[in-house]
């Protein structure tokens, strides 16, 4: 297959069955693009095969998530043109701001995550440690799936937009490093789009595959441009700009540009309430959609 390829690497937690999850993600993605560029959305809709979900949760978890839990939130997300006042208030609440400060402190002293983190954060940290520890070879198996998707797209000479959400951005970054330095693959990602990404945190950066290397070997060499997007009030990205954290990568000429938008307003509400980090909320966002549309039109 020729033409552009959008490869999506999801984050942690159990997911719906791959086909169901992909359909929901694609629907939200098209709406986000439509909000920014209706013409681009109409064109993309005719090429649904361009969207490749690298589903890996089945390697990590024994259960799947019932999409019925998220369907009301998805419908609300797509029906509303933007966040409601209650969403905006909650995103910048005092509680969230205090938690953000505690989590940033914990990033400097990781044992604090286990002391001050809420249950959801502690679970996320545990899953992240499981990935970095490669328990039972799970990290290698997950990376193989992402690498296979990239290699197939490159073999077909397709322009690639690689989207990594949450831990998915970390997995994607590790894969790009491996393909650069362990396998010397010549392919290149035209745009690496990290959303809700913890790649700006010391806890994560110090555990990446290239973390102990020096100079050019520390970083992937196969990203043309990197754009990082994060929502106001979300607790995984914590407002850390990639342009600052990864400046040496740009200074070495390994990437043309690293940009950040940390002011997105997401408003997905599920059974647990407002979830600013949720993948559906990001993909339906007009800022995400606008950047996807721009990349699509560049081709």
Q: Is 123:162 a contact under the CB 8 Å cutoff?
A: no
Average pLDDT estimate for 233-248: 96
Question: Average per-residue pLDDT in the chain?
Answer: 97
In terms of residue numbers, what domain contains 180?
5-298
Number of domains in the chain: 1
Spatial distance between the Cα atoms of 71 and 187, rounded to a whole number of angstroms: 37
Q: In this model, does residue 150 exceed pLDDT 90?
A: yes
Length of the chain: 299
* 224 three-class SS: strand
Spatial distance between the Cα atoms of 172 and 18, rounded to a whole number of angstroms: 18
What residues have CB less than 8 Å from 227, skipping those under 6 apart?
A: 191, 192, 193, 194, 258, 259, 260, 261, 291
The pLDDT confidence band at residue 276, using thresholds 50, 70 and 90, is: very high
Confidence (pLDDT) at 1: 56
pLDDT tens digits along 41-98: 999 999 999 999 999 999 999 999 999 999 999 999 999 999 999 999 999 999 999 9
pLDDT tens digits along 120-147: 888 999 999 999 999 999 999 999 999 9
Q: In this model, does residue 158 exceed pLDDT 70?
A: yes
Q: What tokens appear for 113 in the block? A: 């995550």
Q: In this model, does residue 116 exceed pLDDT 80?
A: no
pLDDT tens digits along 182-238: 998 999 999 999 999 999 999 999 999 999 999 999 999 999 999 999 999 999 999
Is this model's pTM higher than 0.95 or not? yes
Average pLDDT estimate for 9-14: 98
Torsion angle of the four alpha carbons 266, 270, 274, 279, in this order, in degrees rounded to the nearest 10: -30
User: For the chain, what percent of residues have pLDDT higher than 90?
Assistant: 94
- Helix pair 286-298, 18-36: axis angle to 10 deg: 90
What residues have CB less than 8 Å from 30, skipping those under 6 apart?
A: 41, 44, 45
Burial of residue 32 (number of CB atoms within 10 Å: 0-12, 13-18, 19+): buried
Confidence (pLDDT) at 7: 99
The pLDDT confidence band at residue 112, using thresholds 50, 70 and 90, is: confident
**161 beta partners:** 6, 191
Beta strands in 69-199 (DSSP E): 160-165, 189-195
The pLDDT confidence band at residue 32, using thresholds 50, 70 and 90, is: very high
Instruction: Sort strands 51-53 and 273-274 into parallel, antiparallel or unpaired.
Output: unpaired
Q: In this model, does residue 289 exceed pLDDT 70?
A: yes
- Report DSSP letters for 170-190, one per residue: HHHHHHHHHHHHTS-----EE
Q: Is 255:2 a contact under the CB 8 Å cutoff?
A: no
């Amino acid at each position: 297959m020729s033409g552009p390829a959008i490869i999506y690497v999801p984050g942690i937690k159990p997911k719906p069955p791959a086909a169901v999850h992909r359909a929901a993600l694609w629907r939200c993605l098209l709406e986000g693009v439509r909000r920014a560029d209706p013409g681009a959305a109409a064109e993309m809709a005719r090429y649904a095969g361009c969207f490749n979900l690298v589903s890996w949760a089945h390697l990590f978890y024994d259960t799947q998530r019932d999409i019925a839990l998220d369907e009301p939130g998805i419908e609300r997300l797509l029906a509303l043109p933007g966040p409601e006042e209650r969403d905006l208030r909650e995103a910048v609440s005092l509680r969230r701001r205090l938690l953000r400060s505690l989590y940033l402190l914990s990033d400097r002293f990781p044992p604090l995550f286990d002391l001050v983190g809420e249950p959801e954060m502690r679970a996320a940290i545990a899953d992240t440690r499981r990935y970095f520890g490669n328990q039972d070879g799970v990290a290698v198996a997950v990376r193989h799936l992402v690498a296979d998707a990239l290699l197939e797209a490159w073999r077909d000479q397709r322009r690639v937009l690689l989207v990594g959400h949450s831990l998915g951005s970390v997995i994607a970054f590790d894969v790009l490093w491996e393909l650069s330095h362990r396998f010397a693959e010549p392919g290149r990602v035209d745009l690496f789009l990290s959303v809700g990404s913890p790649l700006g945190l010391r806890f994560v950066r110090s555990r990446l595959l290239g973390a102990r290397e020096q100079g050019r070997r520390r970083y992937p060499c196969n990203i043309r441009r990197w754009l990082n997007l994060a929502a106001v009030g979300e607790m995984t990205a914590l407002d850390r700009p990639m342009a600052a954290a990864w400046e040496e990568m740009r200074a070495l000429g390994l990437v043309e540009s690293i940009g950040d938008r940390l002011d997105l307003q997401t408003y997905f509400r599920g059974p647990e309430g407002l979830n600013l980090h949720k993948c559906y909320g990001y993909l339906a966002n007009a800022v995400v959609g606008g950047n996807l549309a721009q990349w699509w039109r560049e081709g």
